[in-house]
Amino acid sequence: MNPINETHVSRPGLVVVDVAAADDDTALAFQQLLADRWATATAQRTTRDAGQPGVRLRCYLDLRQPAVPPTASAAVVSPVSADGPR
């Protein structure tokens, strides 16, 4: 990933979030959870680093915006099992 630009964190409340995930769907779903709650500049796609597992993406949050309470459907998260999918 490119270095973080000073402009992206020039004021309190501005956040750069680097996400590493197993796959595109997981990374983009996490980004969407952030975007549903805060003003977020979202990535349109993930990137892959040669020789590294999984995918990465970077998004930018502005926590100075009023947080939107999560909806009932967004607040329900399925438990993750160490056994994996069946």
User: What confidence score (pLDDT) does residue 65 get?
Assistant: 78
Domain assignment present for 72: no
User: What confidence score (pLDDT) does residue 86 get?
Assistant: 42
Per-residue pLDDT of the chain (86 residues; tens, 9 = 90+): 576 666 656 688 888 899 999 999 999 999 999 988 888 888 888 999 889 899 999 988 888 877 776 665 544 445 554 554 44
Backbone angles phi, psi at 77, to 5 degrees: -120, 130
Domain assignment present for 59: yes
Domain assignment present for 73: no
For the chain, what is the domain count?
1
Number of helical H runs and strand E runs in the chain: 2, 3
Domain assignment present for 74: no
What is the span of the domain harbouring residue 34?
A: 10-64
Domain assignment present for 40: yes
Domain assignment present for 1: no
3-class secondary-structure state, position 22: coil
